[in-house]
Amino acid sequence: MDENAELIGQIEALGEKLAEARSSINRRFIGQRKVVDLSLAAMLCGGHALLIGLPGLGKTRLVDTLSTVMGLRGNRIQFTPDLMPADIIGSEVLDTAADGSRAFRFIQGPLFCQLLMADEINRASPRTQAALLQAMQEREVTVAGVHHKLEAPFHVLATQNPIEQEGTYPLPEAQLDRFLVQIDVEYPDRATERDILIATTGASEDAAHAVFTAEELIDAQSVLRRMPVGEAVVEMILDLVRACRPGEADAHDAVRDAVSWGPGPRAAQALMLTVRARALMDGRLVPSAEDVMALARPVLTHRMALGFAARARGESLGAIIDRVAASVTQMEAAA
């Protein structure tokens, strides 16, 4: 069997496994297909996700279900203003041996897991947020000059409440950029909410089951990175990201007038990975322009900022990104 045929077989088998994972997740997290797909995509790409939504929309339930389905050891940390870095990373304690000798021993904090739910991450102080940043980017933490590797795979799914901002510390741009995607968790439609009511208020609930193991998820991440991406999709990604930078010659008019800063190369990397994940979950062997359009908002929104005048006019980043993506699509079609 040649290399291409082997890769095609692996992609098809992974697509079937992902379909089973979706089905298992839907036993406990009903509806919200886009939210589920983006969360799975972030994990398939080896990245982290930021979930934005009001309380009570099932964000904690989703992360707990993902931990079960993906076969990962999960932890949850409720972020508060008085949370210290040692509370999440761990700390050193002084042990006394039977012979009277003393030595420091590192006790791991809840960060040492495979899937971390950082609940209301913007409630923690910048000092604690910075401690999490090293773990997200380097997959390790440093305590007293000693590096401690985190177990692979390692993913952070963080939540934020978009309404209540009193007593919060907005995440710095450098940390926002470490999140592969921003996932907006919205109210379910009426039919979905009816299904939720019936499924969750009875004497028993359906339980999710494990579909992946940690090792299988690592293998899936390797398969995803070997998926081919067509030249037209690569050029579309570059055109889209560069059009969203107000200082570039390629910048879209809507961006020049409204955006104060735009996405960097990490955004293009995120799009290259996530379009593959979306194609994989749809049972396709290669990503398309539609994948780029669908993922423009989740990948770019948290990597851009509106200027003061644009905020005063009531403009939104989502609408601007949609206009830029539509313009890029038209140019690609014309070419």
The pLDDT tens digits along the chain (335 residues) read 577 888 899 999 999 999 999 999 998 888 889 999 999 999 999 999 999 988 888 888 999 999 999 999 999 999 988 899 889 998 888 887 777 778 888 889 899 999 999 999 988 888 888 888 888 988 998 887 888 899 999 999 999 877 766 667 888 888 889 999 999 999 988 998 998 888 888 877 888 899 999 999 999 999 999 999 999 999 999 999 999 999 888 888 888 888 998 999 999 999 999 999 999 999 899 999 999 999 999 999 999 989 888 888 888 999 999 999 998 888 777 66
Amino acid at 320: I
Q: Of 183, 220, 202, nearest to 18 (Cα)?
A: 220
> 289: number of CA atoms within 13 Å, CB side?
15
Identify the pLDDT of residue 335. 63
Other Cβ atoms within 10 Å of 266 Cβ, number: 14
Identify the pLDDT of residue 202. 80
Identify the pLDDT of residue 329. 85
- Sorted by where each begins, the domain ranges of the chain are 1-226, 228-335
Helix (H, G, I), strand (E, B) or coil at 118: strand
The fourth-level CATH superfamily of domain 1-226 is: P-loop containing nucleotide triphosphate hydrolases (3.40.50.300)
Identify the pLDDT of residue 18. 93
d(CA 150, CA 136): 10
3-state secondary structure 44-66: HCCCEEEEECCCCCCHHHHHHHH
DSSP string, 49-111: EEEE--TTSSHHHHHHHHHHHTT--EEEEE--TT--HHHHHEEEEEEE-TTS-EEEEEEE-TT
Identify the pLDDT of residue 265. 93
Which two tokens mark 78? 């409720």
The fourth-level CATH superfamily of domain 228-335 is: Magnesium chelatase subunit I, C-Terminal domain (1.10.8.80)
